[in-house]
Amino acid sequence: MSEADEAITKAMTMLGQLPNTIFIGQNVAYDGNVVYKHLAGVPMEKRLELPVAEEMQMGMSIGLALQGYLPISIYPRIDFMLLAMNQLVGHLDKLPILSDGGYKPKVIIRTRVGSKTPLNAGPQHTQDYTEAFRLMLTTVIVTKVTKPEEVMPAYEDALKRELSTIVIEALA
């Protein structure tokens, strides 16, 4: 396991030990990509496997957060989050503003910029939309990690924040 993989696994294990976390997305309960391996220290009862339905996943994350859970909503690639923009920009980001602070759903969104080496997965799986997300979001913090030593502090900061965070893993 690489240093980056070890750092992510350690951060996910830390989050998995909290009583109110739930991990949702694709490959969280069934092996299929590296996301599953990163959850080795997370109990299976804290994992909710979803179909490929990105907007539904973000909507479920918001609902779970409003019910007192801390969803760790995992999108294997940042490219896939484009399909969740309605819920992300129009709902998760704006609920604290629209409700004058009455609703403050907290979701930690984990995603990755797809690697182009050793195998280039193509333009549908390797784009980096970090800056675009930062421009669109008002209350959701966007954090990008590029080194293994940045991973744990990024997730610890997300945990300390009152509102939602996207952690974008761009680790070579």
Report whether 36 contacts 59 (CB < 8 A).
no
Q: Quick: pLDDT tens for 5-20.
A: 999 999 999 999 999 9
57 vs 73: CA distance, rounded Å? 7
Q: Domain of residue 16: give its range.
A: 3-169
Contact 25, 55 (CB under 8 A): no
Q: What is the mean pLDDT of residues 93-116?
A: 95
- How large is the average pLDDT for residues 97-117? 94
Instruction: Read off the pLDDT of residues 139-150 as tens digits, 9 standing for 90 and up.
Output: 999 999 999 999
Task: Sort 148 into a burial class: Cβ within 10 Å, 0-12 / 13-18 / 19+.
Answer: middle
Q: For residue 91, give the CATH number of its domain.
A: 3.40.50.970
State pTM to two decimals: 0.96
Instruction: Give the CB-side neighbour count of residue 131, counting CA atoms within 13 A.
Output: 1
User: What distance in Å separates the CA atoms of residue 141 and residue 161, rounded to the nearest whole number?
Assistant: 9
| Structural domain count, the chain | 1
pLDDT-based confidence at residue 33 (cuts at 50, 70, 90): confident
Q: Helix, strand, or coil here: 3?
A: helix
Q: What's the CA gap between 98 and 133, in Å, rounded?
A: 20
| 148 half-sphere exposure, CB direction, 13 A CA radius | 10
Question: Which pLDDT value is given to residue 117?
Answer: 79
pLDDT band of residue 133 (cuts 50, 70, 90) is: very high
